[in-house]
A and B are shown apart, each in its own frame.
Chain A
């Protein structure tokens, strides 16, 4: 037990530029950066394919190829191409986050009932209005599912930033490994796990705010009304 927690609960490790708060900020920064870039790339692609119903085959294939890439391999490759710095880990994390975000958008928008889209078009919405006012709001549960899944993977995998000399909680893991300081390694691992759970909780809360109550399962005293 001491092995696991002695480092974690030592106040000396909770301050300064190598302390937990500073590493937390770094870790969240890598995560947020990778997620934002992945959303900017993956969401429009998924949404476009979901809306037009064209290119689904190509999109699913591309997502599978991306999923098959080993993250550490990508990291090493980008380091060789671009050198040490922020770019390699962010590139690797972004490639990791794109498939679930793209698939969530594609599946969510593709699954909006055709009769609803037909009605939207029939009452005079432009294609753009159909996408933004009807398809995206109705696809929100699946879109958000994709973002949550991507966020979890990125939080957990952002430890690799330390592998190429950057910060984040991964620093503790790799430094601990190099110094045979197992309590420090364990502390780093626990911090990553706890952060992943917290991120999940926060995103679940945000999802409740952005998903319309009309899309929640209906519960009434008389059972589900139809």
Chain B
């Protein structure tokens, strides 16, 4: 557990980076510090491992004031991941990960063995071990950065905008990977970002800071979206917060409708006969959806022509009936060319269709039953 008690940081030039911060980070959870630049989120994080010392107040890690510990020793017991990873260019991937165990006095052989295990944990192939950081992509470097931070299995992990320098696709991979890892490791993670979407996705709790180092709100992400404490928070979480809040509502109350489908390899005639409202879903031999056909698309196509990948129009997002939220259900309907969202089961097989109206009906039902706070 990490506790900020009336922590203030005033820099030499007089600027107050953090102002009387009181906050308790729950153990075994991801706590995200989010806010605009200059809000003191990074300063707050860096005061935990004494990269910056507080001007006044106290920070307790496991009940002990961090100022009682020698900074290097304190830091070895706290994992640290930063933007662009900060890997040591002159060391191989394996030796980068082995850094902290070696500092802690492990033998090189034991440290490297541990490092090799960790590369596997963070999803890097063993062949990467002998490479140097300059030979890796940004996403791979960041995985190595996470492995390095986990090397001596510290209970606390500090992550300072770790994913902000990689492209959006890789960022999403890394975020999912972090959630997967956290599912296994149960670390106390403090994560700093300026991206509210990242905060909401990763945080068990989110602390929103405003300029001047003032904590504006500290809450669960769903609460933040549903009940922002003030105008600053509601502006910061964004105009489409109502839409994003749907991401926290399970879609269990949704009724999945019938849907017409045809398999790749069937004839255009079959497809035309089974059209429903002028549309039909095309599936492959495993019944995984691969797109749509419309009456327009089929007009002029020979009766006996086979339905193949070239003919199929690409579809929208899929809605997973076992894990999806109302947000993903609504998105599937909105992104579908036919206005019918395609619903699949956990194995990716087509199960039916969903409409935007149906999502709104389910939302209204959830409101009545009190599931949606308002």
Q: Which residues from chain A sit less than 8 Å from chain B, CB to CB?
A: 113, 115-116, 118-126, 129, 134, 137-138, 140, 212-215, 218, 220, 225-226
Contact = CB atoms under 8 A, between A and B. Distances in A.
Interface string B68-94: 000011111100101111111111100
5 contacts: A119-B82, A124-B77, A138-B88, A218-B132, A225-B135
Contacts of A213: 132
A136 to B, nearest CB: 10
Nearest to A112: B89
B328 interface: no
A180 B89 CA distance: 57
Given A124-B75, A126-B72, A138 B135 contact: no
B136 A116 contact: no
B295 to A, nearest CB: 46
Size category of the B interface is 20 to 34
A115 B148 CA distance: 15
Contacts of A119: 80, 82, 85-88, 145
Contacts, number: 83
Given A113-B89, A116-B88, A119-B145, 13 more contacts: A119-B86, A120-B88, A122-B75, A124-B72, A124-B77, A124-B100, A124-B103, A134-B88, A134-B90, A137-B90, A214-B89, A214-B132, A214-B133
Given A122-B51, A225-B136, A129 B103 contact: yes
Interface in B106-160: 132-138, 145, 148-149, 158
Nearest to A119: B86
A119 to B, nearest CB: 3
Nearest to A138: B90
Given A124-B72, A212-B132, A214-B132, A115 B84 contact: yes
A126 B134 CA distance: 25
Contacts of B99: 123
B31 interface: no
Output the residue of B75, B86, B103, B145 with the most chain A CB within 10 A. Answer: B86
A19 B103 CA distance: 54
A-B residue pairs, 8 tightest by C-beta: A119-B86, A214-B132, A124-B76, A212-B90, A124-B75, A122-B80, A137-B90, A115-B86
